[in-house]
Chain A
C-alpha cells in the first residue's frame, strides 16, 4: 500500500492508503475526501480534481501531458505543483506523498 496525505483547504489532513495503480483522485473518492469532485470520472476532461503537490514531490512525478496542461490552464489557482489528481497514479515511489486542495474546490 501507498500512503497519501490530502490536506483540505481548511487545513484538515487525511492520511490514507492508496491501492497501487489507483489514481490519487480515485483514492480520494474511495476515502470520501471532500474537495475532489472529479465530475468527468478521470478522463482528464473537467479540471475538478486539481491538487497542489508538495514541493519535494513535484520532480518525482511523471511529466504533465498536453491534455493535462491544457486543463490546468482552466483552473482558478494554477501554480507550481498544480496537477490533476486523476493523472497521478499511486506506486511505491510515491509512498508518503502530500497534496493539498485548492479553495475553489469545495
Chain B
C-alpha cells in the first residue's frame, strides 16, 4: 500500500483493475480499519462496504439494498434471473431451482464428475508437468455444468468462450460483450424452443419447462435469463477456488498430508478454502430509500459494492483471517453470499472441489509449484488465477487406477 490518504485509495478503487486486484487484501484491510464505507469515483461512482457485519446487512436487507438494477459494476447488459430480482419474485425462481442443487441431488453427479476429472488428468499425467488451470480446472467445469443445464456437448466449447468474454470484457469492450451476449442468447433461445417440443428431460432446463410461476409456465425469456446466470455462476467461481486450493496445498505440504491421512475433515477444509479464496470479491446493490450504514448517509439510487472478499478477512469475525486454517470452525464466511441470493450451486461446488482435490492428491499428490511462482489473476467481481504450472512424478493413466479403486472398494467397502 502507498502512503496516500485512504480517501484517495478509495476514490481510485476499481475491482476491474488488475494492478489493484492481483492482491487486494492489504487494501481491504485499510478500508475496513480506516474507511469502512467509502466512495469510489470509478465507473460512475459507488460506495464500497468492507466490514463483515455491514456486508451481511447489505446482502440481507433486500428492501433497502435491491438487486433489481443489476449486481455488477459496470452493469451487465443483460438482466439475469433470479440474481437481478428481489424477493418475493426471486424466491419463486429459487423454489424451482433449489431442488436441483440440494446435497442429495448433486450427489448423483459424483461418478460423472470423477470420470471427467480422471479423463482430463489422463491427458497429462504421463508427462510430469501441467498447467492445472488450462489443462484441468477450466476445461472441467463446462463439462459438468453444461450437461446439467441441458446444453448439448457439441456446443460446449463455443459456450465457454462466450461466457469468458461476457464475464471479462465489460470494462474494456462493451460492444464485444453485447455481441457475445446476443450470440449466447440466440443459442439458448433455440435450445429452449427445441426442448419445448421434445420429450421431457431430467435436467435444470427440464425442471423450468415443467414448473409454474404465478399459475403459468415460465416464459422462454425467463428461462433464458436463468440459464445464463447458472452458466456464469458455475464456472469462474468454482475454478477460482480449485486453483487457489491447489496452490495452497502445494505450498503447505503439512496441510496436504493432513487431508490425505484424514486428520483434517474435508467438509471443514472446503469451507475454509472457499472463504480464503472468496471467488466473488464483491457485488453491487442499489439503494432503494435513503439510509445510513457505518455513519455514512446513502441516498436512493446510490450504488453500493459489498466486498465479500474483505468480509471474509475481517479479524472481528475470523481469527488469523489472512491465513488458510483448514480446520477453522465455526466458519461463517460469506463466500457463497448471504441472504436471499446465497449461491444456488454451493453444494455442487463443494462436491466438485472435494472430488478434484482428492483425485489430484491420489493421482499426483507430489505435485510442486516453482518456488518463485507468483500467481496472476483475472479480476472483476470474480477473481481467479490465470495459470498454475506444476511438476510431478509422471504416473499412469486411469485404466490402471480404475482397477486399483475397484480392488480397494472390494477390500474395504469404501472408495478412496
Contact = CB atoms under 8 A, between A and B. Distances in A.
- Whether both chains belong to one complex is answered with yes
Interface of A: 39-41, 43, 45-48, 67, 70-71, 73-74, 76, 106
Contacts of A70: 87-88
Given A40-B60, A73-B88, A46 B94 contact: yes
A45 B340 contact: yes
Contact of A39 (B62, B92, B342): B342
B98 interface: yes
Given A43-B60, A43-B62, A67-B63, A74 B88 contact: yes
A97 B95 CA distance: 28
Sort chain B's interface into a size bin.
10 to 19
B288 interface: no
A47 B60 contact: no
Contact of B91 (A41, A71, A106): A71
Given A48-B98, A74-B95, 4 more contacts: A40-B338, A46-B91, A73-B88, A106-B102
The 10 closest A-B pairs by CB, nearest first: A45-B340, A43-B60, A70-B88, A74-B91, A43-B339, A45-B87, A74-B88, A40-B339, A40-B340, A47-B91
B61 interface: yes
Contacts of A48: 98
A45 to B, nearest CB: 3
B95 A45 contact: no
Contacts of B60: 40-41, 43, 45
22 contacts: A39-B342, A40-B60, A40-B339, A40-B342, A41-B342, A43-B60, A43-B338, A43-B339, A45-B60, A45-B87, A45-B340, A46-B91, A46-B340, A46-B342, A47-B91, A48-B98, A67-B87, A70-B87, A70-B88, A71-B87, A71-B88, A74-B91
A39 B102 CA distance: 11
Of the candidates B91, B104, B338, the one having the most CB atoms from chain A within 10 angstroms of its own CB is B91
Contacts of B342: 39-41, 46
A67 B340 CA distance: 13
Nearest to B346: A39
Nearest to B62: A45
A45 B102 CA distance: 18
B99 to A, nearest CB: 9
A39 B337 CA distance: 11
B81 to A, nearest CB: 15
Contact of B92 (A40, A43, A45, A74): A74
A46 B87 contact: yes
A43 B56 CA distance: 10
A43 B91 contact: no
A67 B63 CA distance: 9
A43 B91 CA distance: 13
A51 to B, nearest CB: 17
B88 A41 contact: no
Given A45-B60, A45-B62, A45-B340, A39 B98 contact: yes
